[in-house]
Amino acid sequence: MGKGGRYGRGVVRVARAQAIGPCEMKGQSMQQTQPVWLKALAAVLGTALTAHLAATAIFVGPDNVAKETWEEPLDSYMEPFFQQNWSLFAPNPIGTERILYVRGWYDAERATEWVNVSELETQAAITHNLFASRAGKVTIQLASRIGRQHGKLNSDEQEALAAHYHDDAWDRLEDRMMGLDGHSPSGRISYVLRYDQTITAYATQFAYAWWGADAGLEYVQFKTEDRSVTPFDERHVDRERNPRVREFGRRPMVEFDGQDREAFAAAIERFAS
């Protein structure tokens, strides 16, 4: 009986192994031999994803205590790469058109006329174009992004942006704005100053293309206008709507690495033709 029992149990084990099959046995073996670092990596990634989703939910959600408490770190993390904008949808669709203007300065006294660069861009790349590219909305996007954050700044910070800076513009602006009592979150200030410099770089290229690199310009300046769209219920009301102008001061001309004057000038030439 003992030998028969042992023989019987051996046959049962072989039969079970055959029933499981090589694939399932291999899967069990892999589960048993997963390295510790892989499990740790999965845990870290899962935690990071959960934290990101929680931050996004708080950021895009309605105003609440958590949003007010964590406003500064949330703004610093979410903007500009994870910023969400739901204004495309009802009940509050986009009701404002934002436009960018540029002008050049020969010195602190003499300036060129303002040029509506958004209109140039729109007329050339979007109007009557059924397959318009998003690349044809560069100035509108720039004006929209800096305009939204500009509107969240306090009056002292807006006054600082409207001031003229001819040297070390953005370092000095940051020092001034961060030194104000009750200043905005550092992430918002950094965001606005990055776009201030980016639009200045655009204005520099536009100035070279529009007035000429040898025109003797020393500085550039830009401003944005917010134009309210007439609500549907008021479409028959004859009422003038004054635009909201956002002022930015003179800045030194600046060029980023990789900018191409000739390609930019060719694009502006096409816009103007």
Each residue's pLDDT, cut to its tens digit, for the chain (273 residues) gives 545 555 555 544 545 555 555 555 555 555 557 788 888 888 999 999 998 888 888 777 766 777 777 777 777 777 656 665 555 555 556 667 889 999 999 999 999 999 999 988 877 665 555 555 555 578 888 999 899 899 999 999 999 999 999 999 999 999 999 999 999 988 889 999 999 999 999 999 999 999 999 999 999 999 999 887 777 777 777 777 788 999 999 999 999 998 889 998 888 887 777
**Chain-wide mean pLDDT for the chain?**
81
- Could you tell me which residues come within 8 angstroms of residue 123 by beta carbon, excluding any fewer than 6 positions away? 271
Cis status of the peptide bond prior to 62, with omega within 30 of 0: no
Return the SS3 of 99.
strand
Return the SS3 of 226.
strand
Whole-angstrom Cα distance, residue 109 to residue 66? 49
Is the overall model pTM greater than 0.75, yes or no?
no
Task: Say what angle helices 138-150 and 186-210 make with each other, to 10 degrees.
Answer: 150
Return the SS3 of 95.
coil
Work out the burial of residue 150: count CB atoms within 10 Å of its CB; fewer than 13 is exposed, 13-18 middle, 19 or more buried. Answer: buried
Whole-angstrom Cα distance, residue 99 to residue 116? 7
Q: Are strands 96-105 and 115-116 parallel, antiparallel or unpaired?
A: antiparallel
pLDDT value of residue 225:
94
Return the SS3 of 31.
helix
pLDDT value of residue 233:
76
Residue 118 tokens, joined = 């958004």
Where do the structural domains in the chain lie, given as residue ranges? 2-77, 96-272
Q: Which residues of 168-177 are buried (b: 16+ CB within 10 A; e: fewer)?
A: ebbeebbebb
